[in-house]
Amino acid sequence: MRPGDTRIEKRVLVGIALKPIGLKGEVKIKPLTDNPERYRAGAKLWAVGAGRTGDTEGIRARAAGLPAPVRLTVKSARESGRDLAVFFEEVGTLEEADALRGKELFVPESEVPPLPEGEYYHFQVLGLEVYTSRGRLLGIVSDIISAGEKDVYVVKGQGGEYLIPVTDDAIEKIDPVGGRITLRPMKGYIPE
């Protein structure tokens, strides 16, 4: 496996192409990253069809009849309200910009900078199994709500939906490699 080869490496969603802006190929992007370097001039991104998420590209995509990812290079970017207006070197017309509409923009996981110990990116937490302090499976992290200083994990399971605050009082251990989160006892809130 070669670093940066998105055909065989996990990918991280960093934005969604919304629509063209003007006639010269500028694209309105909904950024899904708080890394300001992600859209700097010269940055490389990969675009794939909307809803086509997963951890492999290229060979599997073609075998399944899906389009392979398209590599894009940021030429320039500027803020546009809550979104970004981005020119890509490979896109120069309204039609080319419109072809990106709805595409998801990714980077290979190897290009994501490491976080300090005990901090996790959303992509590392979504899909993890959540267990009570006694080892009972509560459900899977299906969403993350940003609530001020702390996030809240939305956990869905057979027992319903639970909102778990991301605090030391609620969470004993987060283990992305092992695929699980272990909660601390929360009497009256989470059934054991």
pLDDT digits (tens, 9 = 90+) for 63-73: 455 567 889 99
Whether residue 190 lies inside any domain: the answer is no
Whether residue 192 lies inside any domain: the answer is no
Residues 18, 95 within the same domain = yes
Whether residue 117 lies inside any domain: the answer is no
The contacts of residue 10 (CB under 8 Å, 6+ apart) are: 55, 108, 109
- 107 by Cβ neighbours in 10 Å (0-12 / 13-18 / 19+) ranks as buried
Residues 177, 104 within the same domain = no
Does residue 73 contact residue 42 with C-beta atoms inside 8 Å?
yes
pLDDT of residue 66: 54
Q: How far apart are the first and last CA of the chain?
A: 43
> Of 108, 106, 116, nearest to 46 (Cα)?
106
* Mean pLDDT comparison of 45-49, 112-116, 169-173, highest-scoring range: 169-173
Mean per-residue pLDDT of the chain:
84
Residues 171, 147 within the same domain = yes
Does residue 111 contact residue 52 with C-beta atoms inside 8 Å?
no
- Counting residues of the chain whose pLDDT is more than 90, the rounded percentage is 57
DSSP string, 73-99: EEEEEEEETTEEEEEETT--SHHHHHT
> Of 88, 91, 12, nearest to 57 (Cα)?
12
Least confident of 42-46, 81-85, 107-111, 145-149: 145-149
Q: Is the pLDDT of residue 26 over 90?
A: yes
Q: Per the structure, how many domains does the chain have?
A: 2
The structure tokens listed for 186 are 């929360």
Q: For the domain that residue 88 is a member of, what is the CATH number?
A: 2.40.30.60
Single residue among 62, 89, 111 that ends a domain in this structure: 111
Q: Is the pLDDT of residue 164 over 80?
A: yes
Least confident of 5-9, 103-107, 140-144, 165-169: 5-9
User: Which amino acid does the sequence have at 150?
Assistant: K
pLDDT of residue 32: 87
Whether residue 136 lies inside any domain: the answer is yes
pLDDT of residue 98: 94
The structure tokens listed for 37 are 């370097």
